[in-house]
């Protein structure tokens, strides 16, 4: 479904991604783990066209999207919930969700029903300004907003960031439900333990390159991974 | 008492013109995050478009108005495309200096074509004055007030209810997140310049109808005042620009009538400075704190 081949990405002179290659197959949950500054967010940003590659290529659903403008990708079925949620804080919950269906107008009504069923807290607050939501609610809103486009691949950047353990569990449960209903997921997480538990496969990033990859179960048993990311 | 009412009405009329111009400043600032210094000069071009259409081409007033709106809209969109779009990633100062450059360019092009002498706007509206007891309200003032009110309501509905309007609000908050939703930031900015410039054309028509004489630098003063009005109301805020423009016009006419014509601008700007000292974000300026 998604194939990233040898991409190199720079912030000015900083070489942030070095020859990164990764693949996501239809129906998988793939986790991307690694320390702060390893390049996880940059990888997602490059896939969704917010950053440009200097070399390398990105293919999504058999189409070369390496140079496709960011705003066109959502209609290809690629949704990205960015780091820090990035909800439209001055707009209402419902308006945020409507923006998610910007290129998928006809689905708005049905999508709202589905998202509200998935996140009942959002329904109660649908006329509230997003800026007044709690962090967890904003995370739910950001995820709900991405779902409004009916994505084939959902990329989540640290959905558990800053949330209380019980909410983290809830977010991971939701990810599992989404996956069960047929959405393929590329998940960036600091919380490697939880991520490896729900993922099929995983990539470990270190200072801009892929240090390890394999099945999530194998990586969770690997000594290096356990020491570096699982606190064992 | 009669004088007060008449002053208030002329203040509202002038304020409506400022508000129409201020909307262009504030929308462009809110969405493209830049000060379009050339916005005032669009008014001047709009006024010349009317003069040429009516006096030279002998076209009827309605057609002249449509031409003026079309010329300004096209000009605004073209300026954005040629001058500002290539600078999307440049530092704000570069963009500001470019905008000042565009402003001088427009003034000098007008100077070249129309000369430095002022030209008078043809009389376009034959609306009888309204007499309410001892108070007389000019037809042009009524028209200005009416049209501005309709435009403000329409614009508010557009921004709050339509798909494009919501997209504009999304872009003004977070360009990258808006693009992730499938909204083209470039297209949204183009629409913003088009709306702002069309409103400037409408303002230029009422300005011409009230002040009659046009020369290449005509746009500067109302431009600066409207910009001030936008800041006063809270730059980036659409209702703020409306309120700021109207208050500015009323304040200006009140000080002209009751204090001094000579000092009115100084008084107006003095009041604005005071307001901004107390509330730096302007009357309706928003300060939203982000959740981490
Ligand atoms: N806007 C930027 N300008 C310059 N350098 C940047 C920028 N964003 C990220 N970087 C650098 O690129 C590298 C990768 O950053 P990235 O945000 O992808 O890391 P990450 O793996 O997502 O980290 P975290 O877990 O902290 O979110 C880091 O060294 C970072 O300092
Ligand atoms: Mg990150």
Residue B76 pLDDT: 97
Complete DSSP assignment for B149-187: HHHHHHHHHHHHHSHHHHHHHHHHH-HHHHHHTT--HHH
- For residue A208, the ligand closest to its alpha carbon is 1
A contact test, residue of B175, B180, B284 with most A CBs within 10 A:
B180
Q: State mean pLDDT over A191-207.
A: 93
Neighbouring-strand partners of residue A187: A31, A156
The ligand 1 atom at the shortest distance from the C-alpha of residue A190 is 25
Residue B290 pLDDT: 41
Complete DSSP assignment for A193-226: HHHHHH-SEEEEEETTEEEEEEEHHHHHH-HHHH
- Per-residue pLDDT of B146-185, as tens digits, reads 999 999 999 999 999 999 999 999 999 999 999 999 999 9
Instruction: Give the number of domains in chain B.
Output: 1
Q: Are B184 and A71 in contact (CB under 8 A)?
A: yes
Q: Specify if B292 maps to a domain.
A: no
Q: Specify if B231 maps to a domain.
A: yes
Residue B288 pLDDT: 45
Residue A106 pLDDT: 93
Determine contact: A227 vs chain B, CB below 8 A.
no
CA separation for the pair A223, A213 (Å, rounded): 14
Residue of B163, B170, B185 lying closest to A88 (CB–CB)? B170
Residue of B170, B179, B291 lying closest to A135 (CB–CB)? B291
CA separation for the pair B116, A213 (Å, rounded): 73
Angle at A134 between CA A132 and CA A138, to 5 degrees: 90
Give the relative orientation of helices B2-32 and B220-233 as an angle to the nearest 10 degrees.
80
Delimit the domains of chain A by residue range: 2-91+151-229
CA separation for the pair A172, B147 (Å, rounded): 54
pTM for the complete prediction? Answer: 0.91
Percent of the residues in chain B that have a pLDDT greater than 90, as a whole number = 72
Topology of domain A2-91+151-229, CATH: Rossmann fold (3.40.50)
- Is residue B131 very low, low, confident or very high in pLDDT (cuts 50, 70, 90)? confident
Total length of chain A: 232
- Is residue B287 very low, low, confident or very high in pLDDT (cuts 50, 70, 90)? low
CA separation for the pair A218, A212 (Å, rounded): 11
CA separation for the pair A225, A165 (Å, rounded): 22
Q: Specify if B76 maps to a domain.
A: yes
Residue A49 pLDDT: 95
Domain limits at B73?
2-124+134-278
Give how far A121 is from chain B: nearest CA, Å: 18
Tell which residue, B212, B67, B197, B69, has the closest CA to residue B138: B212
pLDDT at position B209 over 90:
no
- Per-residue pLDDT of B32-48, as tens digits, reads 999 999 999 999 999 99
Determine contact: A165 vs chain B, CB below 8 A.
no
Q: Specify if B182 maps to a domain.
A: yes
What CATH number does residue B200 fall under? 1.10.3470
CA separation for the pair B104, B253 (Å, rounded): 29
Residue B292 pLDDT: 41
Residue of B170, B183, B290 lying closest to A91 (CB–CB)? B170
Q: Specify if B288 maps to a domain.
A: no
Task: Evaluate the CA torsion angle B164, B165, B171, B176 in order and state its sign.
Answer: negative
Contacts of A102 in chain B (CB under 8 A): 163, 167, 181-183
| ipTM for the predicted complex | 0.92
């Amino acid at each position: 479904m998604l194939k990233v081949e040898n991409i190199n990405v720079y912030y000015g002179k900083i070489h942030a991604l070095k020859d990164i290659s990764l693949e996501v197959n239809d129906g998988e949950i793939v986790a991307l783990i690694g320390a702060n500054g390893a390049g996880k967010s940059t990888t997602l940003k490059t896939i969704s066209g917010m950053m440009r590659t200097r070399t390398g290529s990105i293919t999504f659903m058999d189409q070369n999207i390496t140079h496709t403008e960011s705003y066109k990708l959502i209609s290809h079925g690629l949704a990205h919930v960015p780091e820090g949620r990035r909800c439209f804080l001055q707009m209402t919950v419902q308006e945020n969700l409507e923006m998610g269906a910007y290129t998928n107008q006809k689905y708005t009504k049905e999508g709202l029903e589905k998202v509200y069923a998935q996140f009942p807290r959002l329904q109660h607050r649908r006329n509230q300004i997003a800026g007044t939501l709690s962090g967890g609610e904003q995370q739910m809103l950001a995820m709900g907003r991405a779902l409004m486009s009916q994505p084939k691949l959902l990329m989540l950047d640290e959905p558990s960031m800053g949330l209380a353990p019980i909410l983290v569990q809830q977010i991971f449960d939701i990810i599992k439900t989404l996956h069960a209903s047929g959405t393929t997921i590329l998940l960036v997480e600091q919380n490697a333990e939880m991520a490896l538990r729900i993922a099929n496969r995983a990539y470990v990033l270190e200072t801009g390159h892929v240090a390890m990859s394999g099945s999530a179960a194998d990586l969770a048993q690997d000594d290096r991974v356990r020491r570096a990311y699982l606190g064992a | 008492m009669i004088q007060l009412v008449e002053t208030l009405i002329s203040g509202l009329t002038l304020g409506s013109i400022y508000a129409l111009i201020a909307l262009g400043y504030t929308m462009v600032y809110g969405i493209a995050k830049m000060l379009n210094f050339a916005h005032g000069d669009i008014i001047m071009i709009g006024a010349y478009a009317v003069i040429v259409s009516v006096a030279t081409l002998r076209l009827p007033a309605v057609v002249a108005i449509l031409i003026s709106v079309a010329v300004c809209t096209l000009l605004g969109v073209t300026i954005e495309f040629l001058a500002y779009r290539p600078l999307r990633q440049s530092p704000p100062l570069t963009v500001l200096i470019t905008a000042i450059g565009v402003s001088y360019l427009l003034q000098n092009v007008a100077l070249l074509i129309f000369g430095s002498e002022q030209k008078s706007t043809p009389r376009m509206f034959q609306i009888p004055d309204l007499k309410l007891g001892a108070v007389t309200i000019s037809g042009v003032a009524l028209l200005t007030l009416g049209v501005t009110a309709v435009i403000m309501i329409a614009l508010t509905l557009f921004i709050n209810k339509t798909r494009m309007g919501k997209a504009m609000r999304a872009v003004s908050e977070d360009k990258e997140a808006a693009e992730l939703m499938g909204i083209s930031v470039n297209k949204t900015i183009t629409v913003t310049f088009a709306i702002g410039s069309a409103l400037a054309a409408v303002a230029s028509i009422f300005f011409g109808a009230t002040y009659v004489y046009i020369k290449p630098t005509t746009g500067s003063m109302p431009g600066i005042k409207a910009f001030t009005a936008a800041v006063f109301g809270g730059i980036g805020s659409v209702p703020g620009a409306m309120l700021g423009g109207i208050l500015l016009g009323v304040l200006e006419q009140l000080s002209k009538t009751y204090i001094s014509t000579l000092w009115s601008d100084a008084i107006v700007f003095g009041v604005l400075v005071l307001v901004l000292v107390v509330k730096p974000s302007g009357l309706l300026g928003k300060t939203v704190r982000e959740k981490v």
